[in-house]
Amino acid sequence: MMPAVLALSGALVYGAADFFGGLAAKSLRSIVVTAVAALSGLLALLIAQPFVGGEWTAGDIGWGVLAGGFGALAIALLYACLAIGPMSILSPLTAVVSAIAPMLWGLLVDGEELSALAYAGLGVALVAVVLVGFIPGEKVVRPSIRGLLMAIGAGLAIGGFLIAIDQTSDDSGLVPLVLSRSTTVVVTGVAIGMLAIGAVRRRTGAASILRPAAGLGVTPSGHADLEHATPSHPSPAPTVARAWWLAVTCGIVDAAANALALLALRGGDLSIVSALTALYPAGTILLAAVVLRERVAAVQWAGLALALVAGGLLAIG
């Protein structure tokens, strides 16, 4: 029961990170938010690591770096498919694939055995993932093959992150997450550097890259669509100073979600943890409803209800 509770809690915390990142992206360029969040999350993990402990073995270091590579790939692909759209289809597709890929790995490769009740829970969870990922007000149009492939690729990369983390030893503590987040910091840092160089060459000033651009973006775990993690009704953007703090908060919360997912994987099945972790939009929806008084669509309420049902079935199954 505890791994399922941890995984569902991690999903809600991931959603909270998306929420803070979405608010920050209203006043800062989304890739800047991603980079700041990656760095603050890494610092949080480094501070926590001595207290948690963990052995720095070659195997765990390798899996951590590989997980970071998957995370960086997820960020790149999600940025690309966000630019293509429509996210009303591509966003839920990414979430579903991110659940199915490690689910199949756990069942077919790792040989996980689940009860009939747990299988029912997995089915309910997948339906819930689609419903909570619904984007109210988004115009539904036929996605391009390129957009579909990028969304599937992003989902596979997010799933690959969970698979890689699941291969690490119980004695590694937070080491895999530290290595993974370090990789993300390097990748996003290089991206920011390239943007700054381009801005200087255009004589617009390096500081110009801080301004919001198109509103598209993701968090360090590759989960968020920052364009839709912000409220749908008009609301004032935070000040730039507050946006920096929101980005820092996003990173710390996102790192905490990674830690919860890691704990869930250490004590439970990859198939169950991946299905529940993919429910991350639920956290964004709930925070937007409570903090910003955002209206929750009926289909999203149905998704939230099914998420609870799935969590219960998987916890007792």
pLDDT at residue 117 in the model: 86
The whole-model pTM stands at 0.87
Burial 68-93 (b: 16+ CB within 10 A, else e): bbbbbbbbbbbbbbbeebbbbbbbbb
Query: C-alpha dihedral over 103, 104, 108, 113, to 10 degrees?
Result: 30
Domain ranges of the chain: 2-316
First CA to last CA across the chain, in angstroms? 8
Name the residue type at position 101.
Answer: A
pLDDT at residue 19 in the model: 83
pLDDT at residue 193 in the model: 86
pLDDT at residue 212 in the model: 66
Backbone angles phi, psi at 158, to 5 degrees: -65, -40
Task: Write the pLDDT tens digit of every residue in 213-266.
Answer: 654 556 666 665 555 455 455 556 778 889 899 999 999 999 999 999 999 999
Task: Write the pLDDT tens digit of every residue in 292-303.
Answer: 777 777 888 888
What six digits make up the tokens of 48? 């926590």
Backbone angles phi, psi at 234, to 5 degrees: -60, 135
Within the chain, which residues score under 70 in pLDDT? 1, 82-88, 134-141, 206, 212-236, 317
